[in-house]
Copies of this chain bind each other. A is one copy, B any other.
């Protein structure tokens, strides 16, 4: 096989792998991990059941890849938003905005990423749990920084963080593309609610209420 054919073969394999992942997201979101067979996924991707195993080891591996990619994406997005401003209120507004947009826009994969964790094998589950902890920690530390700077007022930053995450994650359950609210619109409103939840002082830092 010359180099050109090699590259073409590889990119064709990549495209098939991506198609299988996409079919798995749709199937898991509709029928759940345990309600989906590898046969369902292969058929939706236009492949034979046996062909799936050429590209992915198992149904669980597909779930892991989906979960891993979803969690990595959200962790990066949260870290970037935290780093986007030294002002805790500005940074938190950005965190919640971006977190909400991604969960509303990608509501189908959001359901798989958040509701099928217990179907992962123990090793994969531990890896994903670690990323989830880092996401929670980044949000909690930002709230704690705001409290320490005297610009937020909340009795329990960890619980406030749990509430903010619920606002985003639960969009996977109720958000529908055909509804009247765009992801951006919800994100803007939820970001303002988040500032209220953490007791952000109104007005710029240095002013009093």
Interface residues in A145-173 by Cβ distance below 8 A to B read 155-156, 159-160, 162-163, 166-167, 169-171, 173
A189 at interface, CB cutoff 8 A: yes
> What residues on B are CB-neighbors of A160 within 8 Å?
193
B-contacting 9-mer, from A17-25, A32-40, A41-49, A76-84? A32-40
Number of copies: 2
Q: Which residue of B lies closest to A27 (CB)?
A: B34
| Interface residue from B163, B169, B171 paired with A173 (Cβ < 8 Å) | B169
Q: Output the least CB separation between A158 and chain B (Å).
A: 9
> What residues on B are CB-neighbors of A133 within 8 Å?
none
Please name the 8 residue pairs, one residue from A and one from B, whose CB atoms are nearest each other, closest first: A34-B35, A32-B32, A166-B170, A31-B34, A35-B35, A170-B170, A196-B196, A193-B197
Query: A residues engaging B (CB < 8 A)?
Result: 30-36, 114-115, 118, 155-156, 159-160, 162-163, 166-167, 169-171, 173-174, 181, 186, 189-190, 193, 196-197, 199
> What residues on B are CB-neighbors of A34 within 8 Å?
31-32, 34-36
Question: With A and B bound together, what is the CA distance between A115 and B114 in angstroms?
Answer: 12
Q: Output the least CB separation between A32 and chain B (Å).
A: 3
Given contacts A34-B36, A166-B170, 9 further A-B contacts (CB under 8 A): A32-B34, A34-B34, A115-B115, A159-B181, A160-B193, A166-B167, A193-B197, A196-B199, A197-B197
Q: Which residue of B lies closest to A186 (CB)?
A: B159
> What residues on B are CB-neighbors of A190 within 8 Å?
163
Q: Output the least CB separation between A147 and chain B (Å).
A: 15
Question: With A and B bound together, what is the CA distance between A162 and B175 in angstroms?
Answer: 10
Question: With A and B bound together, what is the CA distance between A30 and B118 in angstroms?
Answer: 8
Q: Output the least CB separation between A143 and chain B (Å).
A: 12
Q: Output the least CB separation between A136 and chain B (Å).
A: 10
Question: With A and B bound together, what is the CA distance between A143 and B181 in angstroms?
Answer: 19
Whether A115 contacts B33 in the complex (CB less than 8 A), given A163-B190, A189-B155, comes out as no
